[in-house]
């Protein structure tokens, strides 16, 4: 057996382990969101102080957030933007594992992406695919389009690049493609929230 054969076998093994490590990190920052009448979706811990991002269509009433550890918290709605399909929640917890945020505008067509969520009640399900189309600059309602499987319950969960950096919030499926709100649209949403909270009463 040659050294080249050993290397050829080692490379896929390292890639498998690296992908498993990324999936594990993403699972830790992905939460389950439970609403009235059994409604269920996903969310992302955006900040360690208890800030959770999800889709507006996931939050349609009083909600509870369940961490990957099983801890459950009553969520307080900070902001909701149906047009952008984004909602920000606060939970009474600190020191949480928070997502590493990437740059959606740096994505390239064909690049691998990873989605994590709770589809059909399955905790921390992971699916992978490739970028089909990137957000078009200048359009507020643009999406990341990816060729990966999303099911009911994935909405609000993270879409990440191959290094585990969150580049979007999974929102819906259209034409067989997964659509995610890009992180720069999330940043604008959070910027508007900070401005409202800082404004004098």
This prediction has a pTM of 0.88
| Residue 30 forms part of a structural domain | no
Q: Is residue 88 in some structural domain?
A: no
Question: Looking at the domain assignment, is residue 113 inside a domain?
Answer: yes
* 151-187 pLDDT, tens digit each: 999 999 999 999 999 999 999 999 899 999 999 999 9
Residue 80's pLDDT is: 96
Q: Is 163 among the domain residues?
A: yes
**Domain ranges, residue 145:** 104-189
Q: Could you give the number of structural domains in the chain?
A: 1
Exactly one of 85, 118, 132, 161 is catalytic; name it. Answer: 85
Name the pLDDT band for 101 (thresholds 50, 70, 90). very high
Q: HSE (CB half, 13 Å, CA atoms) of 164? A: 16
Is 63 a catalytic site residue?
A: no
- Residue 16 in tokens: 């498998």
pLDDT score at 142 = 85
Q: Is residue 86 part of a domain?
A: no
Q: What is the bridge-based pairing of β-strands 166-174 and 125-133?
A: unpaired
pLDDT band for position 3 (cuts 50, 70, 90) = very low
Nearest Cα to Cα of residue 77 among 67, 65, 95: 65
Residue 132 annotated as catalytic: no
- CATH number at 109 reads 2.40.10.10
Task: Catalytic residue, from 42, 63, 68, 155: name it.
Answer: 155
* Residue 184 annotated as catalytic: no
């Amino acid at each position: 057996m040659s050294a080249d054969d050993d290397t050829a076998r080692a490379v896929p093994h390292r890639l498998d382990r690296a992908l498993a490590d990324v999936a594990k990190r993403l699972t830790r920052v992905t939460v389950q969101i439970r609403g009235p009448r059994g409604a269920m979706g996903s969310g992302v811990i955006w900040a360690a102080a208890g800030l959770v991002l999800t889709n507006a269509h996931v939050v349609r009433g009083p909600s509870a957030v369940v961490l990957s550890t099983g801890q459950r918290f009553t969520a307080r709605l900070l902001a909701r933007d149906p047009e952008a399909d984004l909602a920000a929640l606060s939970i009474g917890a600190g020191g949480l594992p928070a997502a590493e945020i990437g740059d959606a505008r740096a994505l390239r067509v064909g690049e691998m992406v990873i989605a994590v969520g709770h589809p059909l009640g399955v905790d921390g399900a992971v699916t992978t695919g490739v970028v089909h189309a990137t957000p078009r600059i200048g359009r507020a309602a643009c999406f990341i389009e990816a060729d990966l499987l999303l099911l009911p319950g994935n909405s609000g969960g993270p879409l990440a690049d191959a290094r585990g950096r969150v580049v979007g919030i999974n929102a819906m499926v259209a034409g067989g493609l997964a659509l995610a709100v890009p992180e720069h649209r999330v940043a604008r949403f959070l910027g508007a929230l900070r401005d409202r909270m800082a404004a004098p009463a």
